[in-house]
Amino acid sequence: MFSKLNIYLFKNFIYTFLIVFILFTMLLFFSDLIEQFRKATNKEVPIKIIFKLTLLNAPSLSFSTLPIVVFFSTILCYLKLIRSTEYIVMGNTGMSPFQLSKAPIILFFTIGIAFVFIVNPITAVFQKDFQELDYKYIKRLDRLSSISKNGIWLMQESAQGLTNIIYAKNIKDNGSTLIDFMLLEYDDNNKLVGRIDGKTAKLISDKWIMNDLLLTQKDEKPLFYPYYEYSTYLNKEDIKNSLSAPEMMSFLQLSNFIYILEKLGYSANDYKIYFYNILLMPIIIVGFVILANSIVIGVKQNDKFAKIIIVSFLMMIIYYFCSSLMNTLGTNAKLPPFISTLVTPIMLFSLALTMIKYKTIRRKI
């Protein structure tokens, strides 16, 4: 059972967290609303669609900024307790910094778990609708590719003005090489006018270089070609960028999607990094709580808190710089994705524990 002191601390931390979370959510909402208006400039997007895009994107933004919210709400709650001398009295009774951080660690770890298992699947649903509207009204593009366990489907428009649906059982080179493929040609009335079945097709410049294929045109006999060039407006980046974004899937779906991507021949490093960051989020949150505790150790009731706030902002900037750097190294395969996502949390814990140890030793001297 929790002591009355821990219950009192729980109430203080949850109250501060809710206030900071609401403020951050409002700030993110209005910032994203401005961004959506900017992206919709000269595109005649209805205002209700812009607001809908912002609302659909808000849960994902709130989820991604949860560690920041936890960090600053913990700092502010500690400062509030210090201002009222309650934190100082608790410390003078012999309670260690770890004992004083027990309540917020349990609270925010639980919140982190809830966000991962409950909020993340919900944000994935909202993000899927957001991406569909974004493609339709802002980017004004159709999705070019779809991944399934049986292969990849691509949609393109040929230089002859025909709409093509391409299916491949396997791929290489991140989608630029198709293996055991089938290409279906449709006219403006969506009627099938031709079909190509082949062994390989490699995307080079503005054409597919096909090998060992059977070409079947409407009302004509099938013809075999050992080599064939087929014009296209597709490029490698178009295929990669049109895949489902990691944010559109919950972490429960990501592991299976990553397996399918790698089986097909795609690099799934982006998806792995996003997946590991979600799984590590509760641990990262605990690290931020310990870091917040280490920052306020030794702060007196009459001290100026501006210095603490500035130090907190600097810590946050350094953390996210290191995190972005590690994620980039993981995406580019300079480091294994799991290692790249694990390095920054280890640095976070090391920094927090070192600061606590240092300040504790100083207080004893």
* DSSP string covering 93-131: TT--HHHHTHHHHHHHHHHHHHIIIIIHHHHHHHHHHHH
364 vs 182, more confident? 182
- List, in order, residues 6 or more apart from 236 with CB less than 8 Å away: 173, 174, 175, 176, 203
Residue 17 has pLDDT above 90, yes or no: yes
Query: Tokens 């919140």 correspond to what residue?
Result: 111
**Coil, helix or strand at residue 205:** coil
Asked whether the beta carbons of 348 and 357 are under 8 A apart, the reply is: no
CA angle 206, 215, 232 (to 5 degrees): 15
Across the chain, mean pLDDT equals 85
pTM for the whole structure: 0.79
- List, in order, residues 6 or more apart from 329 with CB less than 8 Å away: 335, 340
pLDDT over 70 percentage in the chain? 88
Interstrand relation of 151-157 and 223-231 (parallel, antiparallel or unpaired): unpaired
Res 281: pLDDT: 95
**Coil, helix or strand at residue 204:** strand
144 vs 346, more confident? 346
Res 350: pLDDT: 92
Residue 140 has pLDDT above 60, yes or no: no
Res 286: pLDDT: 95
Binning pLDDT at 50, 70 and 90, where does residue 357 land? confident
Binning pLDDT at 50, 70 and 90, where does residue 1 land? very low
Asked whether the beta carbons of 306 and 291 are under 8 A apart, the reply is: no
Closest CA to 196 of 228, 172, 238, 219: 228
Binning pLDDT at 50, 70 and 90, where does residue 2 land? low
Reported as a single tens digit per residue, the pLDDT across 240-257 is 655 667 788 888 888 888
Helix or strand run (H / E) with residue 345 = helix 337-364
- List, in order, residues 6 or more apart from 137 with CB less than 8 Å away: 40, 43, 45, 49, 53
Res 26: pLDDT: 94
User: Which 8-state DSSP code applies to residue 249?
Assistant: S
Reported as a single tens digit per residue, the pLDDT across 83-94 is 888 877 776 766
Assigned token pair, 323: 């995190």
Burial call 144-155: b when 16+ CB within 10 Å, e when fewer? bbebeeebbbbb
Res 144: pLDDT: 59
Read off the pLDDT of each residue in 2-21 and give the average, rounded to a whole number: 88
Query: Tokens 């960051």 correspond to what residue?
Result: 277
Asked whether the beta carbons of 142 and 215 are under 8 A apart, the reply is: no
Reported as a single tens digit per residue, the pLDDT across 294-334 is 898 877 877 788 888 888 899 899 998 999 999 999 888 78
Binning pLDDT at 50, 70 and 90, where does residue 159 land? low
Backbone Cα Rg of the chain: 27
Read off the pLDDT of each residue in 14-20 and give the average, rounded to a whole number: 95
Residue 30 has pLDDT above 60, yes or no: yes
Interstrand relation of 192-204 and 177-186 (parallel, antiparallel or unpaired): antiparallel
Assigned token pair, 80: 């509030």
Where do runs of H (alpha helix) occur along 242-336? 251-264, 269-296, 306-331
Binning pLDDT at 50, 70 and 90, where does residue 23 land? very high
**In this predicted structure, which of 53-57, 152-156, 160-164, 337-341 has the lowest mean pLDDT?**
160-164
Residue 365 has pLDDT above 70, yes or no: no
